[in-house]
């Protein structure tokens, strides 16, 4: 984890899995063929009318497994229908891109491209959850995080471990060939994140589109909370952005995927708050395990899964809450969620919930509306890395 952010999952595995835009076009063609097959086997998600989506979301379903195969999901209509039902909320709306990219379905193109990448790297769900949070929580969901520059948001310490930019670039390049100047980088982030959440076992949730891209990106604007922030301060921070305490706990449930590093938990293991002993809120078994992974004064900053259930490291589910209830939270803020009077009951509820996927999706959809630019605000960038 970088200096100062507990907000969304941090992960490793940033090997060179990126490709240029040209190979991605091939990926899209291949994935489109897969999509056509899925239409007949009822394996792909669809954006439905809200009443239909709620009915589908209430049914149990299976998702793509580690080998990329899919199973019987109830989200079964066709991605071709993704934008048929335009339901507006303010300046954003579902189906914003319908008819704006010729006969191409913009959200289907993004789904197919991201799915092709996810097959090769399942840690992308943590990468994109982190990217969306870091973008939306600073200036709003307007892709300022993607801009390059000597003092842009990318250069801030809290953004040092954000990755996936090359995938956004590749998707943007494909869309620029299909319909130049139409699809915003901000919308690509939101749609791509939703795709990875679904592919990693989460529920398919509705997102509205029509965001425009920001023109400003300053490292000095990045002020994300750190892993030791008190729960009361975190609740206030999220409240200032329009979120309830429950929605905050749901968004921090993104820690069900991804990793942090030893440097961010060493104090909890050896000298918590200068007491000369470990954090007493950590279970003895987790303490013993983490001390083996993170020996005192080790030169290696090893990764640690934020969800200590090894069967759930890259799966979007409620396992994270079960772990922190059992005092197996890795980050201080995560563990305190299960102990603080403001959030303890919420955590207990989510640990036993059967509808976490639906509730997490709603929280993510709400996050995607923070500080958006619409109408004539901002621009549609030709490249996500620079203003026009």
DSSP conformation letters of 205-265: ----B--BB-S---GGG--PPPTT--HHHHHHHHHHTT--HHHHHHHHGGGGS-EEEGGGT
**Contact in structure between 272 and 278 (CB atoms under 8 Å):** yes
More confident residue, 233 or 20: 233
For residue 87, pLDDT over 90 is answered with: no
pLDDT reading at 238 higher than 50: yes
What value does the mean pLDDT of the chain take? 83
What would the mean pLDDT of 92-97 be, rounded to a whole number? 94
Q: Report the range of poorest mean pLDDT among 51-60, 84-93, 284-293, 368-377.
A: 51-60
Average pLDDT over residues 105-125: 97
* Domain range list for the chain: 21-222, 231-365
CB 342 within 8 A of CB 239: no
Q: Is the pLDDT of residue 18 over 60?
A: no
Query: Is there a catalytic annotation at residue 33?
Result: no
pLDDT at 81 over 80: no
Give the model's pLDDT for residue 274: 95
Q: Which of 63, 122, 134, 261 is catalytic?
A: 134
pLDDT of residue 28: 46
Which residue reads 């899209």 in tokens?
28
Question: In this predicted model, what pLDDT tens digit does every residue of 303-328 receive, in sequence order?
Answer: 999 999 999 999 999 999 999 999 99
Interval 34-70: pLDDT, tens: 433 333 323 334 433 333 333 334 444 434 444 444 4
pLDDT, one tens digit per residue, over 320-374 is: 999 999 999 999 999 999 999 999 999 999 999 999 999 999 999 999 999 999 9
Q: For residue 130, what are the contacts with CB-CB under 8 A and spacing of at least 6?
A: 7, 8, 9, 10, 11, 161, 162, 254, 258
Q: Which residues are annotated as a binding site?
A: 135, 138, 140, 144, 153, 225, 255-256, 307, 317
**pTM as predicted:** 0.79
Return the CATH fold of 231-365: Peroxidase; domain 2 (1.10.420)
User: How high is the pLDDT of residue 280?
Assistant: 97
Answer with the residue of higher pLDDT: 87 or 143.
143
Q: 50-54, 245-249, 287-291, 309-313: which has the minimum mean pLDDT?
A: 50-54
Output the known binding site for substrate: 225
Please give the annotated binding residues for Ca(2+), written as ranges: 135, 138, 140, 144, 153, 256, 307, 317
Position 27 pLDDT exceeds 60:
no
Q: Enumerate the known binding-site residues for heme b.
A: 255
Q: For 94, what's the count of Cα atoms within 13 Å in the CB-facing half-sphere?
A: 17
Q: What are the start-end ranges of the E strands in the chain?
A: 88-89, 92-93, 259-261, 303-305
- Average pLDDT of span 178-197: 98
Percent of the chain topping pLDDT 90: 75
CATH topology of domain 21-222: Peroxidase; domain 1 (1.10.520)
Tell me, what's the pLDDT at 225?
86
pLDDT of residue 134: 97
Give the residues across from 165 on adjacent strands: none
Q: Phi then psi for 241, rounded to 5 degrees?
A: -95, 0
Mean pLDDT of 193-210: 97
């Amino acid at each position: 984890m970088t200096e100062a952010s507990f907000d969304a999952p941090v992960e490793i595995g940033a090997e060179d899995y990126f490709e240029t835009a040209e190979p991605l076009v091939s990926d899209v063609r291949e994935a489109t063929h897969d999509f056509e097959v899925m239409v007949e086997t009822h394996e792909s998600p669809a954006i439905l009318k809200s009443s239909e989506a709620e009915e589908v979301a209430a049914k149990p379903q299976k998702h793509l497994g580690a080998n990329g195969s899919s199973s019987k999901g109830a989200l079964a209509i066709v991605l071709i229908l993704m934008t048929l039902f335009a339901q507006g909320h303010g300046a954003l709306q579902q189906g914003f891109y319908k008819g704006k990219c010729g006969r191409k379905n913009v959200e289907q193109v993004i789904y197919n491209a991201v799915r092709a990448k996810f097959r090769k790297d399942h840690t992308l769900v943590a990468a994109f959850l982190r990217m969306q949070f870091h973008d939306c929580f600073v200036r709003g969901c307007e892709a300022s995080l993607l801009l390059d520059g000597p003092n842009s948001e990318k250069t801030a310490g809290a953004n040092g471990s954000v990755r996936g930019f090359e995938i956004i670039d590749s998707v943007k390049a494909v869309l620029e060939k299909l319909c130049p100047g139409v699809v915003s980088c901000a919308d690509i982030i939101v749609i791509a994140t939703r795709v990875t959440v679904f592919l990693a076992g989460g529920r398919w949730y509705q997102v509205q589109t029509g965001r425009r891209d920001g023109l400003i990106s300053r490292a000095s604007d990045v002020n994300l909370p750190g892993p030791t922030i008190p729960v009361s301060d975190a609740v206030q921070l999220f409240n200032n952005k329009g979120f309830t305490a429950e929605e905050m706990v749901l968004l921090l449930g993104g820690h069900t995927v991804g990793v942090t590093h030893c440097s961010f938990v060493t104090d909890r293991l050896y000298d918590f708050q200068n007491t000369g002993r470990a954090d007493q809120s950590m279970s003895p078994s987790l303490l013993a395990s983490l001390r083996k992974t993170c020996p005192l004064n080790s030169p290696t900053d090893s990764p640690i899964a934020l969800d200590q259930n090894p069967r759930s490291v890259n799966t979007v589910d409620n396992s994270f809450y079960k772990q922190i209830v059992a005092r197996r939270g890795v980050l201080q803020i995560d563990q305190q969620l299960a102990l603080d009077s403001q959030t303890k009951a919420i955590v207990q509820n989510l640990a036993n919930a059967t509808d976490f996927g639906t509730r997490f999706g709603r929280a993510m959809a709400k996050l995607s509306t923070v500080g958006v630019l619409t109408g004539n605000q901002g621009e549609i960038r030709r490249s996500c890395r620079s203003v026009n």
